[in-house]
Structure 1
Amino acid sequence: MSKRKASKHKLDRRMGENIWGRPNSPVNRRSYGPGQHGQRRKSKVSDYGLQLRAKQKLKGYYGDVTEKQFKRTYQEASRMKGDTSQNLIGLLEQRLDMIVYRAKFAPTIFAARQIVSHGHIKVNGVKCNIASRRCFVGDVISLGNKAQEMALVIEAQSLPEREIPDYVATDGTDKVTFTRVPTLDEVPYPVRMEPNLVVEFYSR
């Protein structure tokens, strides 16, 4: 589970970017960082600083997963064949809470995690309450009966700012199939993500 208890919007302001692409992000009104020093002139950022920022942004986008969990995902990506940065994105997109978010079953990644943990999601017809569960190609993710009538789900499905990506095939409004592991270019990030810098950060 995520340990984030502070305002989720602070991450947007700290990064200076609307990382989830939400219309109510404070970055749309104030482009500077939070706190009394937020409007200070920015100094030149070191290579380490750029790598750390890229890691914090990517980690934050996926619901601010714990550092331990995120590093474990990187380590697994580094052991796989092929490009480590692409493998990392693929593993993160295979998380159940992220597929629920991509399918527009929830308005935010945090809401997606909550819906999963409350037992409203089924994987291949079996209830699952583990948000970090990895889904595989061909897995069918569906809403439970109660979830289909939840205001949160209905709101998410009507959001105009997000489209369901090609690798999540819809079957009606309550069921999707994970069709393939996406590449970085296929993932609909609202801002530029740099997983190559994340790889550099961990491989120092």
Structure 2
Amino acid sequence: MTKRAESKYKINRRLGVNLWGRAKSPLAKREYGPGQHGQRRKQKPTDFGIQLMAKQKLKGYYGNIGEKQFRKYYEEAVRRKGDTSENLIELLERRLDAVIYRMKLAVTPFAARQFVNHGHITVNGRKVNIPSFLVKDGDVIEVKEKSKQLTAVLDAAQSGERDVPEYIQVDHRQMKGTYVRAPKLGDVPYPVQMEPNLVVEFYSR
């Protein structure tokens, strides 16, 4: 197992949730945290602990985004008009790697990030290899022609683990899709409950 896969599974166990809703989650076998202290009885979390957990879940879900970058998303969400927690979800769902994951062109957010990094994706006909690139409404995202027959892409597209949400249109025969609109929190198919309002409380302390 790769270090990336190991760290991914540790995120699940540390947070105590099947973050991506996958059948392979280690929580199916071990419902406790990693390490020698993982089986200790859990204490009732403080308000700070609850807010921190909400932040860690959201960061982890999108491929374990770094703290510096995640805080920038929060600051941009505050700057924009409207509900800050909804703005934060919108920014995260506009990330190119998140869009690739939603389009079912990769089995996990980690795989989506790697797929973009390796230059397999175009946006409006131009190659983009930056996973954090923010997609706009109406943008056309496509797998490069020479990459359309990659086993990993075909397996992801045919997977029955997830459905493509309504705010994205996809043609898996052409490996091409359109980002229709930004979603609201209720539109995003999270396998576990996300609480961006607690993330906002965490940063606004």
TM-score range, shorter chain: over 0.9
* Aligned pairs for 1:90-105 within 5 A: 90-105=90-105
Q: Which residue of the partner structure matches residue 11 of structure 1?
A: 11
1:7 to partner: Cα distance: 2.2
Distance 1:202 1:117 in 2: 30
Taking the aligned partners of 1:167 and 1:69, their CA distance within structure 2 comes to 25
Deviation at 1:10, TM superposition (A): 0.4
1:178 aligns with 2:179: yes
Question: Do the aligned residues in 1 keep the contact of 2:116 with 2:128 (CA within 8 Å)?
Answer: yes
Aligned counterparts of 1:6 and 1:27: Cα–Cα separation in 2: 13
1:55-134 equivalence runs, <5 A = 55-134=55-134
State how far apart, in whole Å, the 1-side matches of 2:55 and 2:128 are: 28
How many residues end up aligned between the 2 structures?
Answer: 201
SS at match of 2:22: coil
TM-score (norm 1): 0.96
TM value normalised by structure 2: 0.95
- For 2:5 and 2:100, how far apart are their aligned partners in 1? 22
Q: Please report how far the alpha carbon of residue 6 of structure 1 lies from its aligned counterpart in structure 2 after TM superposition.
A: 5.1
Unmatched runs of 5 consecutive residues or more in structure 2: none
| Contiguous gaps of at least 5 residues in structure 1 | none
Mapped pair 1:47 → 2:47:
yes
For each residue in 1:128-174, what CA deviation from the matched residue of structure 2 results, as whole angstroms up to 9, or x when unmatched? 10110000000000000122111110110111110000001113431
Matched with 1:140 is 140
Give the equivalent residue in structure 1 for 2:153: 153
Name the SS for the 2:75 alignment partner: helix
1:42-78 deviation digits (Å, cap 9, x = unpaired):
1111000000111011000000111110000000001
- SS for the counterpart of 2:43 is coil
2: distance between equivalents of 1:90 and 1:30? 33
SS at match of 2:145: coil
Aligned residue identity for 1:150:
L
Aligned-partner residue type, residue 186 of structure 1: D
Query: SS of the counterpart of 1:137?
Result: coil
Between the aligned partners of 2:131 and 2:40, the Cα distance in structure 1 is 38
Moved over 3 A (4+): none
CA distance in 1, matches of 2:94, 2:54: 20
Residue 177 of structure 1 aligns with an amino acid whose one-letter code is: T
Equivalent position of 1:27 in the other structure: 27
Give the drift of 1:121: 0.2
**Structure 2 contact 16–32 (Cα < 8 Å) conserved:** yes
Distance 2:23 2:5 in 1: 22
Deviations 1:80-114 (A, max 9, x none): 11100000000000000100110011111111111
